[in-house]
Amino acid sequence: KDTEVSVLGLGAMGRELARALLDAGHRVTVWNRTAARAEALAERGAVVAGSPGEAVGASPLTVVCLLDEDTVLQALDGVGAAGRAVVNLTNGTPEQARRVAELVRGQGGDYLDGGIMAVPPMIGGPHAFLYYSGSERVFREHRPLLDTFGAAHYKGEDPGAAALWDVALLSAMYGMFGGLLHAFALARSAGIDAGEVAGDVGAWLTAMGEAGPEYARRIDTGDHTTDVVSNLGMQAAGIRNVLATAEEQGVSTALLGPLADFMRLRLAGGDHAAEDLTGLVQLLAPGAETV
Ligand code: NDP
């Protein structure tokens, strides 16, 4: 019997997506390479498909959440998506998203890409949000169902756009995680449990995160001047202390060293000591010598 929505991939995330759809009262078909992972969902009423093609054929809309885009290309190859809508929430690059779009459209299907800004337990909760791009028709038509997962932000017809937004946020996250790991390693090198500093580290990151809009303004206007807050000359001296402390404690500087290198490079490249850290963005831009 036909269902409203199919879910391909029942890993940690796919399972949660399928569960949210069932909780919202949708009729759901699921497929997973390892069939045993579908059992708990089947007990809750999901129909289990024997192949990706069977799942795509069962519903007008298929949500895909597999390990990576190569897996998606493999799973969707020859599924016969004609007249069907595919929403791919697998993480990947913009180019990879465009390739999956081509595959689906080549079969006569409609394609919407997506990026999930949530970990599985957040799905359906107040803090989950998702980026979408590609077919606006699919986005509009299935919006109520997509809202089941979290707040939906549509970023235009280019199927690669959602991945760009997603990866931009992940980039900021991984930079932060790198700093967190370094901070905890440093604490432990002094016999302090990570748990003892975690609260203060969190409060500090929250306070520093508020610099985002001001950083963005400097970057968008190209005016990196700062005469009041934290100039690059001071920050370069500060990060030298961060690295020197790590060395004193025997902690690796591998994660934070490159940031100090970029500060040195910016200072060596001209009269930049009075500007904000934001000037470093020019060393990261396409075409910069450091790329
Ligand atoms: P899991 O590792 O838990 O699940 C991976 C899924 O991919 C499983 O369904 C697995 O099937 C399937 N799979 C892997 N290789 C193959 C293959 N060769 N052929 C067919 N199926 C395959 O990952 P998640 O569920 O956590 O992540 C899924 C996607 O969601 C990823 O792109 C991830 O980046 C994204 N995402 C995850 C978040 C998270 O915090 N978990 C957050 C935001 C996005 P099987 O069960 O058979 O192994």
- Which residue, by CA, sits nearest to atom 15 of ligand 1? 67
Delimit the CATH 1.10.1040.10 region(s) of the chain. 165-284
Mutate to test the pocket of ligand 1, among 66, 130, 149 (most ligand atoms within 8 A of CB): 66
In the predicted model, is pLDDT for residue 1 greater than 70? no
Predicted local confidence at residue 288, as pLDDT: 87
Token reading at 12: 């940690």
Predicted local confidence at residue 289, as pLDDT: 76
Predicted local confidence at residue 117, as pLDDT: 98
Q: What is the mean pLDDT of the chain?
A: 96
Over pLDDT 90: what percentage of the chain? 93
pLDDT digits (tens, 9 = 90+) for 172-194: 999 999 999 999 999 999 999 99
Question: For the structural domain made of 5-157, what CATH number should be given?
Answer: 3.40.50.720
290 compared with 153, residue with greater pLDDT: 153
CB-neighbour burial class of residue 202 (10 A; exposed 0-12, middle 13-18, buried 19+)? exposed
Q: Average pLDDT for residues 19-30, to the nearest whole number?
A: 98
91 C-alpha to ligand 1 centroid (Å) = 9
Q: Which residues pair with 126 in a beta bridge?
A: none
Predicted local confidence at residue 220, as pLDDT: 96
HEC assignment per residue over 4-35:
CEEEECCCHHHHHHHHHHHHCCCCEEEECCCH
Q: Average pLDDT for residues 31-58, to the nearest whole number?
A: 98
Delimit the CATH 3.40.50.720 region(s) of the chain. 5-157
Mutate to test the pocket of ligand 1, among 67, 68, 117, 149 (most ligand atoms within 8 A of CB): 67
In the predicted model, is pLDDT for residue 76 greater than 90? yes
pLDDT digits (tens, 9 = 90+) for 234-289: 999 999 999 999 999 999 999 999 999 999 999 999 999 889 999 999 999 998 87
pLDDT digits (tens, 9 = 90+) for 119-166: 999 999 999 999 999 999 999 999 999 999 999 999 999 999 999 999
Query: What class has domain 165-284?
Result: mainly alpha
Predicted local confidence at residue 291, as pLDDT: 54
256's CB contacts (< 8 A; 6+ apart) are: 178, 179, 182, 239, 242, 243, 246
Q: Give the count of alpha carbons within 13 A of 156, CB side only.
A: 7
User: Residue 43: helix, strand or coil by DSSP?
Assistant: helix
Token reading at 283: 């060393």
279 C-alpha to ligand 1 centroid (Å) = 38
Residue that has been written with the tokens 């885009």 in this structure:
69
